[in-house]
Amino acid sequence: MYLSRSLLWTVSAFVVVAAQSTDGILNLVKRRLPNHVNDFEFHLLGNSTGLLPSAINATNDEYSVSSTSDGKILVEGNSLIALASGLHRYLTDTVHVDIFWYIGSRLDLAPLHLPPLDVPINGSSIVPWRYHFNTVTFSYTAAFWTWEDWELELDWLALRGVNLPLAWVGYEKILVETLQELGMTDAEILPYFSGPAFQAWNRFGNIQGSWGGELPMEWIDGQFELQKNITARMVELGMTPVLPCITGFVPRAITRVLPDAMVVNGSQWDGFPVDYTNVTFLEPVDPAFTELQKSFISKQAAAYGNITHIYTLDQYNENHPYSGDLDYLKNVSYNTWKSLKAADPEAIWLMQGWLFYDQEEFWTGERIEAYLGGVPENGDMLILDLFSESYPQWQRTNSYFGKPWIWCQLHDYGQSMGLYGQIMNVTINPIEALANSTSLVGFGLTMEGQEGNEIMYDLLLDQAWSGSPVDTETYFHNWVTRRYAGSGNVPEQLYSGWETMRSTVYNNTNLSSAVAVTRSIMELSPNITGLTGQILTTINYDPAMLLSVFYTMFSAAQINPALWQNQAYQYDMVDITRQVYSNAFQSAYEELIGAYNSPHSNTTIAAAGKKLTNLMHTLDAVLLTNPSFSLSTRLTAARSFSTNTTLSDFYEYDARNQITLWGPDGEISDYASKSWGGLVGGYYLPRWKIFISYLEETDVGSYNTTVLNQRLSEFEMAWQNGTGVQEGAIQGGVGSLEEILGELVGSGVFSRG
């Protein structure tokens, strides 16, 4: 049976499942704290029907953690995710252990005898929903994830209280079956799909087809089986998966089986050739749209169970509507909504609000109101305010004209790797929004890629459990304590280093020069202009400060050598060294360009260029000490998805292309660049050598960007088809991180000045 859905807050999407048990939380403990399975008790209070609580009745999640008379830790909560959140609170605040991206779970470092609680720990969320994932995260970060990767991710999400995760994996299988039922052949369907590293933009209707090979059924079937595991685990942990549905984007050959179909071709996307863009859109007003929707959603429910009523659906993400006419826009959304309701009477449409920022000139207030107004029941739609920390749209849209919405932190474009954050904006702003918008129902993370800076994501998710802005100084201190668990007492130098970063690199307030994670100009195609001063390359702090942090944190291991075996310390020292070298590279680049633009000799250019290449050689060696910063990790993961050499080569090509040229001919070149060992030495270093050689043979008046780009392109295109993972890496092998950094500090390579 279903609860009443008469009020606005019914966006909570009641989910019918078997009577809930705490087995999912117990299984999490078995996975991550196997020595303490019998030390916890979990009690689920209320909600005995197995329905997730509505946002109007028992709106927020609540938990209480205490000690029992027989020495166990009792966690009580009004939902499964509340139990997971209470467990996490006890582990982080009392036991000082946690689970992290890249370095994995550190929960098993908990002491043999868990500390009892003299006073219960209580917590209550201030919003009913905590959301996670951007559609493109599934391509930038998770394209080649295995079930083992997903298990860690889902445990991370559950412990941090996420109860509304996006679940895109396996979409293609359901769509294939839906189109086959319509009468289309595999030869008409499969060429429509994009490669594994580009599926997100195919799902968005930005691109169609694949370059370098065709997406095989082997991949589609494998991802479908993976999605079964993912969605089952989400439900077991108390989450409501957000599943895909029919958006309207279809193969062009659909007109063979539907000759009278009302279709239009979408707009060109980011300079891609017409063959790969202008995706065909089946107008929702066409009766076939509803029939496809019913078929798709029924097949999906048969595969995964009746596990959700929330569906992700983006029709104009960086696409232009066929018309800006208000009635047209309203009819599109109205008929889309009707198709969802025909397939699932309880359906709720979740949409990323990115289009209202990205295409602001088109999406005027009246057009936004018309499009959103096509959904007559406010509770049947949920909007992600995708970039709330920098460019919120909820104010200019009058809180999305009454539609429920979620305050989101985007933070990262293309899985860029710079150290960056806006701690004030992600603590103060969501609390202010909650006080000023009656339709705000959640906080969420919508990063394009999960890459470092993990504390910024923890911070917002924890803000969802505090009615006032989190004290970031205390928060960082506590986070550092559990970050370096397992090494005895945490040296004061680590607290000091992170405190300095908290107030600088993680405290950007100048949105005129930087709005999200920065990338190194080392990763950009070399040129004499246009690299510095960009909104995604500007350094908004004194680089000397970060160098000081490096020395401070390096000295911590002199006091406590056990840190060199600590995975968190290894990761963080590589990451900070990477940023120090990125900052130094920018200074060296400016010195090179200054020399070139002044009267000079080839010797002068060669010397300045050598400084750049030496930096890259050393950085490559540092990065190669850690699998999380290695190109081979990504390429090996891609190749492992098939035992067929041809398919493995295709998957590797796809992975290579995304992080470099991003398109068959470099349409979005370097957008998803990475400072990875093997990529720095094997791709970026050769490009900069080509550039330096060109400067040596060319005076300022003869500089020709076209000639330079041709030389660069010849190398880049050849690299796409390579299979070696460490070309150009520092010769003679790679030492340990301790050895390399020790030599750098001892030799005085780093200058404190």
3-state secondary structure 398-430: HHHHCCCEEEEECCCCCCCCCCCCECCCCCHHH
Domain annotation covers residue 146: no
Q: Please tell me the predicted confidence (pLDDT) of residue 726.
A: 45
416 and 513 share a domain? no
Whether residues 106 and 175 fall in one domain: no
Residue 151 included in any domain: no
Considering the domain architecture, whether residues 178 and 305 belong to the same structural domain is answered as yes
Pair 261, 397 in one domain: yes
Res 750: pLDDT: 66
Residue 385's DSSP bridge partners are 407
User: Is 166 a member of any domain?
Assistant: no
- 504 & 631 share domain: yes
Instruction: Encode pLDDT of 540-575 as tens digits.
Output: 999 999 999 999 999 999 999 999 999 999 999 999
Burial class (CB in 10 A: 0-12, 13-18, 19+), 643: exposed
The residue among 350, 360, 438, 347 whose CA lies nearest residue 392 is 360
Give the C-alpha separation, 416 to 516, whole Å. 9
Decide if 138 contacts 199 (C-beta within 8 A).
yes
Residue 22: which CATH number? 3.30.379.10
| 507 and 581 in a common domain | yes
Q: What is the pLDDT of residues 321-369, one digit of tens each?
A: 999 999 999 999 999 999 999 999 999 999 999 999 999 999 999 999 9
What b-and-e string marks burial along 325-337, b requiring 16 or more CB atoms within 10 Å of the CB?
A: eeebbbbbbbbbb
pLDDT of amino acid 55: 34
Would 486 be classed as within a structural domain? Answer: no
Say if residue 606's pLDDT is above 50: yes
Query: Is 451 among the domain residues?
Result: yes
Please report the pLDDT score of residue 480 as a whole number.
98
SS (H, E, C) 309-321: CEEECCCCCCCCC
Find, among 635, 647, 632, the residue nearest to 726 by Cα. 632
Between CA 210 and CA 218, with CA 215 as vertex, the angle to 5 degrees is 170
Segment 427-453 mean pLDDT? 97
Rounded Cα distance between 325 and 551, Å, is 60
Percent of the chain scoring above 90 in pLDDT: 91
Q: At what angle do helices 567-596 and 685-697 cross, to 10 degrees?
A: 10
Res 47: pLDDT: 53
- Give residue 46's pLDDT band: very low, low, confident or very high (50, 70, 90): confident
Give the number of other Cβ atoms within 10 Å of residue 322's Cβ. 16
Chain segment 661-718, per-residue pLDDT in tens: 999 999 999 999 999 999 999 999 999 999 999 999 999 999 999 999 999 999 999 9
Q: Which domain holds residue 257?
A: 171-211+245-469
Shared domain for 510 and 625, answered yes or no, is yes
Q: Considering 404, 438, 469, which residue would you say is the last residue of a domain?
A: 469
Q: Give me the residues paired with residue 351 across strands.
A: 383
**pLDDT exceeds 60 at position 152:** yes
Same domain, 388 and 509: no
Question: Are 504 and 385 part of one and the same domain?
Answer: no
- The yes-or-no verdict on residue 725 having pLDDT over 70 is no
Cα–Cα distances (Å) from 510 to 410, 412, 513, 535, 558, in that order, read: 17, 16, 6, 11, 36
Boundary (domain end) residue, out of 124, 143, 159: 124
Could you tell me the CATH number of the domain that includes residue 725? Answer: 1.20.120.670
* pLDDT tens for each residue of 62-103: 999 999 999 999 999 999 999 999 999 999 999 999 999 999
- Give CA–CA dist 687/605, Å, rounded: 16
CATH number assigned to the domain comprising residue 265: 3.20.20.80
Residue 727 has pLDDT above 90, yes or no: no
Q: C-alpha angle 59/466/388, rounded to 5°?
A: 85
With 0-12 CB in 10 A as exposed, 13-18 as middle and 19+ as buried, what is 266?
A: buried
Last residue of a domain, one of 124, 144, 159: 124
Residue 9 lies in a domain: no
Q: What pLDDT does residue 1 have?
A: 27
What are φ and ψ of residue 460, in 5° steps?
-70, -40
Same domain, 198 and 249: yes
Domains in the chain, number: 3
Q: What is the predicted pLDDT for the residue at 602?
A: 85
pLDDT at 52: 40
Confirm whether 157 is domain-assigned. no
Same domain, residue pair 303 and 377: yes
The DSSP bridge pattern shows strands 164-165 and 129-132 to be parallel
DSSP tag of 280: E
Give the Cα separation of 233 and 209 in Å (integer). Answer: 31
Find tokens 């003679």 and name the residue: 732
pLDDT value, residue 601: 84
The answer to whether position 377 is within a domain reads yes
Instruction: Using a pLDDT cut of 70, give the percent of the chain over it.
Output: 94
The DSSP call for residue 496 is H
Whether pLDDT at 732 is above 70: no
Name 123's Cβ contacts closer than 8 Å, sequence gap at least 6: 62, 63, 64, 85, 86, 89, 465
Helices 685-697, 705-720: axis angle to 10 degrees equals 150
Say what the pTM is.
0.95
Same domain assignment for residues 583 and 441: no
Mean pLDDT across the chain: 93
pLDDT range class, residue 722, cuts 50, 70, 90: confident
190 secondary structure, DSSP code: G
Q: Where does the pLDDT of residue 724 fall: very low under 50, low under 70, confident under 90, or very high at 90 and above?
A: low
